[in-house]
Amino acid sequence: MIPEQLIDLTQLEETQYASQTYKLDLTSKRINGMIDDKEALLQSIIKTINTERYSCVIYNGEYGTEKESLIGQDFDYVIADLPRRLSEALLVDDRILSISDFEYTKGADSLIASIMVNTVYGEIPVTTEVTI
């Protein structure tokens, strides 16, 4: 059957889905209500950064950050490669526009990276630790 009228794809509007989700209390490991918009995005960023890519079968290969392979690497190598790894992990989310302002603090056996995540809700500062 041939359609009588063709659909003009340029007239379709993009649907933006709600970002409402459960609020995770990471210290007590319990769900504590609901969150939306910027707070939900911050929770998503934290979960993405702290989940090792390919380690959980419930997530596809685009979810998570590859930080375990940085263990034992040279400090300069980690500083050079970490922006790419964080960008690959976070820019999958269409609410995140860019990542900037990388700052590093070297510990005895770790590296603390502070970044600014530029989102549709504004800038969100995030800190993550990488064992080296």
Alpha helices in the chain (DSSP H): 37-50, 75-90
Q: What is the pTM of this model?
A: 0.82
Q: How many helices (H) and strands (E) does the chain have?
A: 2, 5
pLDDT in tens, 47-101: 999 999 999 888 888 899 999 999 999 999 999 999 999 999 999 999 999 999 9
52 SS3 class: strand
Q: How far are the Cα atoms of 90, 106, 131 from residue 70, in angstroms, in the given order?
A: 18, 14, 7
Look at residue 91 in the predicted model and tell me its pLDDT. 95
pLDDT averaged over every residue in the chain: 89
By percentage, how much of the chain surpasses pLDDT 90? 72
Question: What is the pLDDT, as a whole number, of residue 125?
Answer: 97
Confidence of residue 9 (pLDDT cuts 50, 70, 90): low
Residue carrying structure tokens 């990388």: 102
